[in-house]
Amino acid sequence: MEQTRLNEKIRAPKVLLIDETGSNLGTVNTRDALQKAKEAGLDLVEVNGGQVPVCKLMDFGKYKYEQVKKDKLNSKKQTITVTKEIKFRPTTGDNDLVYRAKQVDEFIKEKNKVRLAVRFRGREAAHIRDTGKTLLEKFLSMLTTSYNIESEMAIEGGSIAIIIAP
């Protein structure tokens, strides 16, 4: 909308004019088009540029207001998915796992994705495949809500992670 040319800012000598009802009036001199716009109490708005720009007679303030309203409505309809992350270690206690499982259930009910990561340090890293996999499977069995596995278990550096979605 910043690029839209109005009234006297239209530099082309001739324009393809469309009136307020949407009917094509043909190619007209820019001065004549401006005159028609002033007589009708409307603005001459360049809709599409080119060799012969397409211009429309309209109330630009009203048009701009409707565009802003439409944009707000479209942004309300958008759903933004958030990815939450739960990290734990192979030595994390069962009570902590139960508490985190409840947190993950809440996240999934709120329609958020969840990334579960088991972190290993030092010599623990030798057991990433077996210990990490069993711990994640145990944790997934604790969940009460239904979920879809979005990405399979993947080893990333010193951790193993999985992403689940509602």
CATH code of the domain in which 138 resides? 3.30.110.10
pLDDT band at 1 (very low <50, low <70, confident <90, very high): very low
CA distance 85 to 81: 13
What local confidence, expressed as pLDDT, does residue 102 receive? 92
Write the pLDDT tens digit of every residue in 79-131. Answer: 778 888 989 888 888 899 899 999 999 999 988 899 999 898 888 878 778 88
Of 48, 76, 104, the one marking the end of a domain is: 76
Domain total for the chain?
2
Of 57, 76, 95, the one marking the end of a domain is: 76
For residue 18, the cross-strand partners are 24, 56
CA distance 57 to 41: 9
pTM across the whole model: 0.54
Residues 111 and 71 in one domain: no
| Mean pLDDT for the stretch of residues 52-64 | 85
- 1 within some domain: no
Of 31, 49, 76, the one marking the end of a domain is: 76
Write the pLDDT tens digit of every residue in 130-154. Answer: 888 888 888 888 888 888 888 888 8
- 100 within some domain: yes
Residues 91 and 160 in one domain: yes
- 2 within some domain: no
Residues 123 and 140 in one domain: yes
| HSE-CB for 135 with a 13 A CA cutoff | 25
CA distance 79 to 136: 29
Residues 129 and 155 in one domain: yes
| HSE-CB for 48 with a 13 A CA cutoff | 6
CA distance 96 to 94: 5
| Mean pLDDT for the stretch of residues 51-76 | 86
Residues 67 and 37 in one domain: yes
What local confidence, expressed as pLDDT, does residue 115 receive? 92
Average pLDDT score over the chain: 84
- 66 within some domain: yes
Do 128 and 160 meet the contact criterion of CB atoms below 8 Å apart? yes
What local confidence, expressed as pLDDT, does residue 2 receive? 55
DSSP 49-117: -SSS-EEEEE-HHHHHHHHHHHHHHHHHH-----EEEEEE-TT--HHHHHHHHHHHHHHHHTT-EEEEE
CA distance 75 to 113: 21
CATH label of the domain that carries residue 15? 3.10.20.80
Range of the domain at 119: 83-165
